[in-house]
Amino acid sequence: MMDAMTPQNRPPRPVRTVTVLRTENVSPLMVRVIFAGDALAEIGDLAYTDHYVKLKFGDVTRTYTIRWFDRDAQEMAIDFVVHGDEGIAGPWAASAKPGDEVSFVGPGGGWAPSPDADVHLLVGDESALPAIAAALDVLPADARAEVFVEVASAAEHQPLAGGDNVAVRWIHRDERAMGYGEALTYAVQTADFPAGRVEAFVHGNADMIKPLRHYLFNEREVPRDQVSISGYWRTGLNEDGWQSSKREFVEQMEAEQDGGVRV
Ligand SMILES: Cc1cc2nc3c(=O)[nH]c(=O)nc-3n(C[C@H](O)[C@H](O)[C@H](O)COP(=O)(O)OP(=O)(O)OC[C@H]3O[C@@H](n4cnc5c(N)ncnc54)[C@H](O)[C@@H]3O)c2cc1C
């Protein structure tokens, strides 16, 4: 009899190495790094729009969305937020140049816009903008989407795909004395809530996740299987700090909002 697969006996996931082919400035604080390499031929079907890889910088791992993947050209693009001198991945991307190498594990992922939705509610800060843009890329021309994106300023707008039924609201942090995600949360909570079957993708700074989760589940009573919501990063914590405290954060949030009942 074969042993059941557990995290302990699962074979290690392959680490692949790719090379920077070129970089593009998507906006002043967003740099696109396009990677190439034979290792990309080993990547299977990418059925989701939130596919991410774990980039390895020495012993440190950083998680990034695949913005687009071109199988014919064997290229993979990742959009990095340039958030200052702190950290590993942001500064690395800001100075990346052709020929630089990076290794990664993955991709993982699990969400794509559902054809059952009447309205796609896509909400995020700039760290989730690559996943939101990837979702908009695959929506049918007549799909209805309400999109809320928080960025540093109007200079951070970027072209997004979508037909006449896609409404994009950009929220600019420099116009409000608020923390990451606060103005975004307010914008979502005060907008008209769409009628019909709403399916939501809500990601970004952890501090906006609590109020938006409460809003969607408790106030708007959106069924849980119609919502993908989680924090991608947290102010004041690096990725290691956020990932190691995320479980506690989620448990506390669920206890507060679900009365301790796991649903
Ligand atoms: C599934 C998933 C997909 C993601 N996709 C993307 C993506 O496509 N593009 C992207 O840019 N990010 C993405 N992120 C977020 C990214 O992993 C984090 O922002 C990560 O912390 C960046 O690593 P770093 O080495 O630059 O900074 P860290 O060393 O992790 O942090 C250093 C400092 O910078 C702060 N910081 C981290 N991120 C930001 C930010 N965005 N803005 C302002 N301050 C920040 C931290 O709070 C900390 O104080 C994703 C996260 C997840 C979980």
Residue 259: the pLDDT is 77
The last residue of one of the domains, among 52, 83, 108, is: 108
Residue 128 and residue 215 in one domain: yes
Residue 78 alpha carbon, nearest atom of ligand 1: 8
The model's pTM is 0.95
Residue with the smallest CA separation from ligand 1 atom 7 is 64
Task: Report if residue 8 sits inside a domain.
Answer: no
Residue 72 and residue 153 in one domain: no
Residue 241 and residue 140 in one domain: yes
Q: Mean pLDDT over all residues of the chain?
A: 94
Residue 48 and residue 83 in one domain: yes
Task: Report if residue 3 sits inside a domain.
Answer: no
Measure 88 CA to ligand 1 centroid, in angstroms: 9
Q: What is the CATH number of the domain that holds 30?
A: 2.40.30.10
Residue 126 and residue 245 in one domain: yes
Q: Residue 217 sits in which domain range?
A: 119-257
Residue 93 alpha carbon, nearest atom of ligand 1: 26
Would you place residue 263 in the very low, low, confident or very high pLDDT band (cuts 50, 70, 90)? very low
Residue with the smallest CA separation from ligand 1 atom 16 is 63
What is the per-residue pLDDT across 68-98, written as a single tens digit (0 to 9) for each? 999 999 999 999 999 999 999 999 999 999 9
Reading phi first (left if > 0) and then psi (alpha if -120 to 50, else beta), residue 102 is in: beta
Residue 102 and residue 140 in one domain: no
Task: Report if residue 263 sits inside a domain.
Answer: no
Q: What is the CATH number of the domain that holds 159?
A: 3.40.50.80
Residue 60 alpha carbon, nearest atom of ligand 1: 25
- Please give the backbone phi and psi of residue 123, each rounded to the nearest 5 degrees, phi first: -130, 130
Measure 187 CA to ligand 1 centroid, in angstroms: 23
Residue 11: the pLDDT is 75
User: What are the distances in angstroms from CA 128 to CA 13, 32, 155, 228?
Assistant: 25, 14, 17, 12
Residue 74 and residue 183 in one domain: no
Task: Report if residue 1 sits inside a domain.
Answer: no
Residue 53 and residue 128 in one domain: no
The yes-or-no verdict on residue 157 having pLDDT over 90 is: yes
Determine the Cα–Cα distance for residues 72 and 168; give it in Å rounded to an integer: 31
